[in-house]
Structure 1
Amino acid sequence: MNGKKLAIALAIIAALVLFFVLDLGRFFTLEALKENRQALLDYYGDHRVGMIAGFMGIYVVQTALSLPGAAILSLAAGAIFGAVLGTLYAVIGATVGATLALLVTRYLLRDAVLTRFGPKLERINRELEERGLHYLLFLRLVPVFPFFLINLAAGITRLPLRTFVIGTLVGIIPGGFVYCNAGASLATITSAGDVASPRVLGSFALLGLFALAPVVYGKMKKTGTRDQ
């Protein structure tokens, strides 16, 4: 490992250690968000640009390092910025963070990721390489695999970066809006799990099936051609 890669690896390790040693996760809870919502709104009213930049920066770091708290950050986006703008900021932050996670995995941690998660990633890798954008959209829309695991999987495939960015950006919009819209009515939420109801998950699954429709059609067409 050269000096640049070693420095990046050490910085990532240091950030992870600090997060857990300082117990920063205590700020990424529903209770903490409810307690501090008014203070966050007041700060946003006085420092709009700084608040937006700070929020997106936190979301980027959280996603890039695969830290806990994504659902709370999305709820916070809706609670502070409203459903529409909150979705915009959350989706951009998550997409940038996911892209950084992919790049770090692809150029720094590929061997380590294969050693640690290889068996779990095998099927995802194969599908991402063969189906590209459609399968990535399916994975982003349907919460079958954890968000961070998809980033790692894509990082050890030959999936084009542009495809990853587009698939992530588009694929997380529905889920992001659901959480941000719920965050706009924060007082009615008792737990982050309440947002992802069976009806909502079913809707995501339906969208995911639409994303896979071209793949299914292509397989059927290919099978029909071979049978002729």
Structure 2
Amino acid sequence: MKLSASRISVILLILLLVVAYFFLGLDSYLTLDALKAQLSQFQAFYQEHQLLTVLIYFGIYVVMAALSLPGAAVLTLAGGALFGFGLGLLLVSFASTLGATGAFLVARFLLRDTIQNRYRERLVKFNEGIQKEGAFYLFTLRLVPIFPFFVINLVMGLTPLRASTFYWVSQLGMLPGTMVYVLAGTQLARFQSLAGIVSLEIFVSFALLGIFPLLAKRFITFIKRYRKTHER
């Protein structure tokens, strides 16, 4: 495969950012223990520099999602813990979707033409299915996270799915899960004592984390049955 100068530039930029992320040890900050340990400092900084904190958080989330770097779950919890449910949900929803779309476009720019040309005959039926059911298929993948989201971002970038469709379906499909994680994040600040750990709000938040995939799966099954019934 012959790479153009623009593709080489994008690859080098991605490699530089990924190497810098791990070389500077930024991944060590994106753990649950690190978040809980530094939460009071983050909150104090936010009180003094609210707009700057929002911009930094939003930018970091978008870049990490676009580069498929680990830590999205902890960042989502941090959004709830730092900004509260309303603002946290708003920031995470748009940042995660923009980042996912960035990863989608990078995969499309770097690899789509090569893979589609090399495996054109094998991908005919798959491409037809994506064009016909792509939005619903992506919605089910987002709602029931069978595969890691970064894998979905990259694979969908190799398909004929429109970027605009990918964006709005991703934002809609990821919203319920995002709500659950942000809600759980709002309870992190209460982990100061045993009484806080067993509070009703924390119990409900983390119970939702466990049952949400089951509820989403049942919902998707219902939608599929409904569609089949009305197609007859």
Tell me the alpha carbon deviations over residues 109-136 of structure 1, each in whole angstroms, 9 at most, x when there is no partner.
336888xxxxxx9998675333121111
**How many angstroms does 1:36 deviate by?**
0.9
Find the partner of 2:46 among 15, 20, 44: 44
Identity across aligned pairs (percent)?
37
Find the partner of 1:148 among 144, 147, 150: 150
**How many angstroms does 1:7 deviate by?**
1.1
**How many angstroms does 1:204 deviate by?**
2.2
Quick one: distance in 1 between partners of 2:62 and 2:218? 28
Dislocated runs of 4+, deviation >6 Å: 111-114, 121-126
Q: Report if the CA contact (8 A) 1:124-1:153 is conserved.
A: no
Quick one: distance in 1 between partners of 2:95 and 2:228? 32
Quick one: distance in 2 between partners of 1:123 and 1:15? 37
* Partner in structure 2 of residue 81 of structure 1: 83
Say if 1:18 and 1:211 are closer, same or farther in 2 by CA, change over 3 A: farther
Quick one: distance in 1 between partners of 2:130 and 2:36? 39
Say if 1:26 and 1:127 are closer, same or farther in 2 by CA, change over 3 A: farther
Q: Report if the CA contact (8 A) 2:139-2:170 is conserved.
A: yes
* Partner in structure 2 of residue 65 of structure 1: 67
Count the aligned residue pairs: 211
Quick one: distance in 2 between partners of 1:205 and 1:123? 26
Which ranges in structure 1 are unaligned for 5 or more consecutive residues? 115-120
* Partner in structure 2 of residue 33 of structure 1: 35
Say if 1:64 and 1:71 are closer, same or farther in 2 by CA, change over 3 A: same
* Partner in structure 2 of residue 137 of structure 1: 139
Q: Indicate yes or no: 2:218 matched with 1:206.
A: yes
Q: Report if the CA contact (8 A) 2:76-2:185 is conserved.
A: yes
Q: Report if the CA contact (8 A) 2:131-2:160 is conserved.
A: yes
Quick one: distance in 1 between partners of 2:209 and 2:124? 30
* Partner in structure 2 of residue 117 of structure 1: none
Quick one: distance in 2 between partners of 1:113 and 1:97? 23
**How many angstroms does 1:147 deviate by?**
0.1
Tell me the alpha carbon deviations over residues 156-198 of structure 1, each in whole angstroms, 9 at most, x when there is no partner.
01101111001011111111110110000012499xxx66644
Tell me the alpha carbon deviations over residues 188-222 of structure 1, each in whole angstroms, 9 at most, x when there is no partner.
499xxx6664422212223433554565446xx2x
Q: Report if the CA contact (8 A) 1:137-1:211 is conserved.
A: no
* Partner in structure 2 of residue 118 of structure 1: none
Say if 1:57 and 1:125 are closer, same or farther in 2 by CA, change over 3 A: farther
Q: Secondary structure at the match of 1:67?
A: coil
TM-score, length of structure 1 as denominator length: 0.82
Find the partner of 1:166 among 137, 162, 168: 168
Find the partner of 1:103 among 81, 105, 130: 105
**Letter of the aligned partner of 1:36 in structure 2?**
Q
Q: Report if the CA contact (8 A) 1:134-1:215 is conserved.
A: no
**Letter of the aligned partner of 2:7 in structure 1?**
K
**Letter of the aligned partner of 2:96 in structure 1?**
A
Quick one: distance in 2 between partners of 1:123 and 1:14? 37
Q: Report if the CA contact (8 A) 1:74-1:179 is conserved.
A: yes
TM-score, length of structure 2 as denominator length: 0.81
Q: Secondary structure at the match of 1:143?
A: coil
Q: Report if the CA contact (8 A) 1:141-1:172 is conserved.
A: yes
**Letter of the aligned partner of 1:199 in structure 2?**
I
